[in-house]
Amino acid sequence: MNTPSISTKRVAPGSAATVARFNSSRSRPPPSAAVLRNASTRTGTGRTATARTSTARTTTGRPRTATARCEDAYVVAVIDNPVREVGLCAYDLNGFVVELRQFADSNTYVTLIKVLCVMAPVEILLSTSSMGGMLEQAIQNSPHLLHVKRTFIGRPFFNETYGALAVDKLSNQPCPHLTRLGSALYLSLASCGALIRYIEHVEDRIFPPSSLRVYFKPNDDTLFLDLSALEGLEVVGNARSANGLPGMHSTACLLREIDFTRTRAGKRFLRRAVLEPCSDLKTITMRQDVVEELCNAEPVYFSLDSALRRFPDLEKAMAILMGRENARLREIRDQADQKTHSSSPHESEQEQPNPGPIDSGSHLAAPPSIVLMKTVLNIKAALETIPEMLQAMENATSPLLRAVAQSLRDPALSNLREYISDVIDPDMFPNKNPERMRMNGAYAVKHGRNGYLDIHRKAMGERIEDMHILMEDTRKKHNLKKLELSLHLKRGYHFSIASKFLDVKDFPEEFNRIDEGRKVHRFSSEQLERLNVRYQESLKEIWRLSELELGDLLGRIFQTDVLRAVHRLCDSIAILDCLLSFVTYAPMSPCTTVRPKLTEDGPIELKKAFHPTAVNIPGQKTVPNDVFLDETSALLIISGRNQAGKSFFIKTVGLIAIMAHTGCWVPAESASIRVLKRVATRFVTGDDISQCQSNFSKEMQDVASIFNSVHCSSRDVERALKQEERASSLQSDSEECAPYPSTLVLIDEVGRSTSTLDGFSIAYAVAEELAARPNTLTLFTTHFIGLGALAQVNPMVRNFHLISQSRSSRQESDSSGDAVCDVIHTFKVSSGVLPDTSYGTETARMAGIPEDVLKDAEEIKRLLPHRRIETPHSFFENFLVLDKEDKDMLRKANYTVAIANRLREITRSSADEQESHRLLVELQQELQERSRKKKEAKKRKHKSSGRTQSLEIAEAASQHEDTGETTQ
């Protein structure tokens, strides 16, 4: 396979000219050129972007989000095929992580849009074959990706072969998924190939071999939360922070409530864990075991807490070193290009030889590298916390905690720590103050490793001492008792004095470089400037010699085994900090928290469950409630007055389910959660002017998305069973069909934004269809009380309502003497349909609508014709007409559900084995007695029907004889 050719003419990285050069040879069959013709770079508005002339990356006006605060800057390459299978590759420009994904998506690319919103990329790479297609339109129509830059590159550069070779070359550890499913993941590998080429040629970066952490993230072990769920449930933001967009920061959201992380790596891991919760039961159980163990071992918790608080941002430090190594390799490449393309051999001979590695003195004229020394000190500080954490986890019992400890015991980390201790002074640590960091960095290398370095340090110390002596002489000479010697990163050493002790007019003539400030005056003198120049020369030489000593150290860090160990260390610290945050949340929560029990096919059962975020809001009243959802109670229709807490209740269930899938404790007395694969929601929203959509139009789009995400309906069950029977005949008897993945659906008041009859009809049809979907558990809030009739024809539907108490008070009555109704919301859920169907005028009265208007409304309501859908009984009597066969089927279904409820109650309430056995025997006797009575009734019916039939035969025979005689 051909390799891309590299031109000697350098253009600013990321500029439009560079992209055009990258796309200049698109028409050639082999994708081996470094550029493509007619490249098109588009912004969110669809206009062509202008060329960028500076080497710094320019933004496109994207809003600052929590993702930006996490300092992630992803560049994402995306490609799809005609059957809507999507391949994705993402690289963090500020890190060393490459993430691959491949999944099947819908025609609207819901999964892709959600993944891109979670990553919040700064640039999206698309194939030129996607230009103007459905993929580009889906990205362009998403309001969350409106300002993200889109760049189109030639389709031949999406080459899976090149992507596979790049992964083998750049990854420092094998990827199991790519090894096992390499040919099946061709789209993600093709995206990886295009992304790596784009970063190398357009961003002008060179990746050292085995320097990246490449991994494939499958979607099968992730609980999918669409954008509607992220916004409606207020996972990482609420309605007060830019409409709850993913990534927006807020004080009242789930992420804020459980975020007690100490490190930046842990904060990033926790955010991903909340936005993309795990749905693998084994992984969740391992996390819960760690949280439970640390909750019961306070010394271990406090030791790990102390160590993690001192742990620096190791990923950022490694990214800085990666950038420095990239600059060195780019310099070597440029010098090699100059030698190759030099026009004069004589000039080539006169050129200086390649300076080589960092320790060759190539940075003699460079300014002091404070960032490099600070990065090394950060790595030193990170490695020094490992022994303390290993000692704390010495007696760990949970498998995940032992795995974390095993990654910290890597010999490569201990060898690197020993080498750093031989080079760096043990008393030196990173400092956030630039001036102090400059001095600490000058003395960071151990004394005695380099004689010249020690001489220059001594000379620098003498210059500093001379400047202090000069300051004392100047103070005495001009009688300035408050004169001080200050150090600034740019000005160097200078004099400073408070403005109240010296007026500008009284400055002596020997002072120069006077900087008049409101509070402090800064100035210098000729003698101080000469000493400062000598100090700067000594400091520059110290930094040069220090970089010589750090050359071997940086070379050791970029060894493959060390990079692999450091990457594992970053992952271990991230997950450990996240789980330690869960441990902190449990006692910090004002309500009771419990470890949820997760099952593959069990129910969702919560007892005295609280809303996770509302319990910490001052003045917010929170009331615990119970929830039970399974196949016998698959759909709960929840009614209630306005502001009674219907949306609050279903959001509580959704948030607790998300918390349980992350491995965190949940605010409840007891909790049992089914492992879910998707949470689909539809919450009340407003109009969307940017998309020209009304409220009802958005409702229908959300409902359509829910139906596309859940599984086959009752109308397709018979056809699916036939297909399964046909498939099972072709397979062995030992193979079993995979069950439908479980889905939790939360719907809040569908049909409220259109006419009453249309809204009720749509809401009833939607609820009826969701109740028939397999492995779909639904919470459905509504103001249509007539929907409760669905429970009379479907045994899997239950009716609940929020209790509200009304009381009349004449103390606050108006001038006419009419009583003012006061409504008290208890926020308590009770079974059954809401008994009061007339509460709209009461809510309007509480809002302050004039009483005359409300009286007119009541009078108009009395004059309107009777609504036959106002109550479940009226709707059932007027519209739902069942024949004899339907009634028999409904009676059998209700009896089956009753037996299932009896068995569940026996299992839940009976702790004694003998008592459970007695109840089961009683149930068995009842079933036998019912079966006996049914058989006797059938025999009696058969006898009566036989007797009737014989009489009919005899009568027919007699009639036949009479007819024959008459004929004869």
Confidence of residue 885 (pLDDT cuts 50, 70, 90): low
pLDDT (mean) for 940-947: 59
- The residue ranking higher by pLDDT, 516 or 286, is 286
Q: What is the pLDDT of residues 639-677, one digit of tens each?
A: 888 777 888 899 999 999 999 999 999 999 999 999 999
Asked whether the predicted pLDDT for residue 500 surpasses 50, the reply is yes
Same domain, 425 and 308: yes
Same domain, 584 and 602: no
Asked whether the predicted pLDDT for residue 8 surpasses 60, the reply is no
Are 640 and 801 a contacting pair, CB within 8 Å?
Answer: yes
Q: Which range, of 116-125, 263-272, 509-518, 951-960, averages the lowest pLDDT?
A: 951-960
Q: What is the DSSP letter of 443?
A: T
Same domain, 794 and 873: yes
Confidence of residue 895 (pLDDT cuts 50, 70, 90): low
- 312 within a domain of the structure (yes/no): yes
pLDDT (mean) for 948-952: 53
CA–CA gap between residue 779 and residue 647 (Å, rounded): 10
Are 480 and 474 a contacting pair, CB within 8 Å?
Answer: yes
Same domain, 580 and 604: no
Confidence of residue 839 (pLDDT cuts 50, 70, 90): low
- The residue ranking higher by pLDDT, 865 or 170, is 170
- 829 φ, ψ (degrees, to nearest 5): -90, 135
- The residue ranking higher by pLDDT, 548 or 69, is 548
Are 635 and 778 a contacting pair, CB within 8 Å?
Answer: yes
What pLDDT sits at residue 441?
80
Same domain, 823 and 701: yes
Asked whether the predicted pLDDT for residue 268 surpasses 80, the reply is yes
What pLDDT sits at residue 41?
46
CATH number of the domain at 640, please: 3.40.50.300
- The residue ranking higher by pLDDT, 856 or 863, is 856
What pLDDT sits at residue 835?
73
CA–CA gap between residue 447 and residue 457 (Å, rounded): 10
Confidence of residue 921 (pLDDT cuts 50, 70, 90): confident
- 488 within a domain of the structure (yes/no): no
Percentage of the chain beyond pLDDT 70 is 71
Most distant CA pair in the chain, distance: 161
For residue 75, give both structure tokens: 């560049």
Distance set, CA 293 to CA 146, 181, 202, 397, 594 (Å) = 45, 36, 49, 8, 14
Distance of CA 1 to the CA centre of its chain: 39
CATH number of the domain at 399, please: 1.10.1420.10
Same domain, 637 and 755: yes
pLDDT (mean) for 347-375: 48
Place of tokens 């996390």: 287
Confidence of residue 696 (pLDDT cuts 50, 70, 90): confident
Q: What residue type is assigned to position 86 of the chain?
A: V
- 446 within a domain of the structure (yes/no): no
Q: What is the pLDDT of residues 726-756, one digit of tens each?
A: 444 434 333 344 456 789 999 988 887 777 7
Task: Look at residues 194, 219, 244 and tell me which one is the last residue of a structural domain.
Answer: 219
- 265 within a domain of the structure (yes/no): yes
Same domain, 666 and 803: yes
- 36 within a domain of the structure (yes/no): no
Q: Which of 9-23, 69-83, 595-609 has the highest mean pLDDT?
A: 595-609
Task: Give all strands of the β-sheet with 224-225 in edge-to-edge order.
Answer: 224-225, 678-682, 743-748, 776-781, 635-639, 797-809, 820-831
Are 117 and 62 a contacting pair, CB within 8 Å?
Answer: no
What pLDDT sits at residue 779?
93
What pLDDT sits at residue 620?
67
Same domain, 608 and 637: yes
pLDDT (mean) for 826-851: 75
- 867 within a domain of the structure (yes/no): yes
Considering its fold, how many domains does the chain have in total?
4
- The residue ranking higher by pLDDT, 727 or 908, is 908
What pLDDT sits at residue 364?
29
Asked whether the predicted pLDDT for residue 561 surpasses 80, the reply is yes
Confidence of residue 757 (pLDDT cuts 50, 70, 90): confident
- 521 within a domain of the structure (yes/no): no
Neighbours of 381 (CB within 10 A): 17
Q: What SS3 class is residue 878? A: helix
Same domain, 839 and 920: no
- Number of Cα atoms under 13 Å in the Cβ half of residue 875: 18
DSSP string, 239-304: TTTGGG-TT---SSSHHHHH----SHHHHHHHHHHHHS-B--HHHHHHHHHHHHHHHT-HHHHHHH
What pLDDT sits at residue 410?
92
Average pLDDT score over the chain: 76
What pLDDT sits at residue 876?
52
Kindly compute the dihedral angle of the four CA atoms of residues 270, 276, 279, 285, in this order, to the nearest 10 degrees: 0
Q: What is the pLDDT of residues 367-404, one digit of tens each?
A: 446 788 888 889 999 999 999 999 999 999 999 999 99
CATH number of the domain at 101, please: 3.30.420.110
Q: Strand 492-498 relative to strand 74-80: parallel, antiparallel, unpaired?
A: unpaired
Same domain, 145 and 200: yes
Q: What is the pLDDT of residues 762-812, one digit of tens each?
A: 888 888 888 888 888 999 998 888 888 888 888 888 899 888 766 544 344
Distance set, CA 222 to CA 103, 106, 400, 603, 776 (Å) = 12, 17, 19, 19, 17
Q: Domain limits at 423?
A: 254-334+367-430+559-588
What pLDDT sits at residue 858?
75
Same domain, 102 and 87: yes
- 122 within a domain of the structure (yes/no): yes
Confidence of residue 822 (pLDDT cuts 50, 70, 90): low
pLDDT (mean) for 40-51: 40
What pLDDT sits at residue 958?
53
Asked whether the predicted pLDDT for residue 579 surpasses 90, the reply is yes
- The residue ranking higher by pLDDT, 284 or 487, is 284
Asked whether the predicted pLDDT for residue 59 surpasses 60, the reply is no
- The residue ranking higher by pLDDT, 474 or 45, is 474
Same domain, 863 and 892: no
What pLDDT sits at residue 11?
39
pLDDT (mean) for 353-373: 46
Q: Which range, of 35-49, 153-167, 782-796, averages the lowest pLDDT?
A: 35-49
What pLDDT sits at residue 601?
86
What pLDDT sits at residue 909?
59
Contacts of residue 208, Cβ cutoff 8 Å, sequence gap at least 6: 322, 325, 326, 329, 558
What pLDDT sits at residue 829?
85
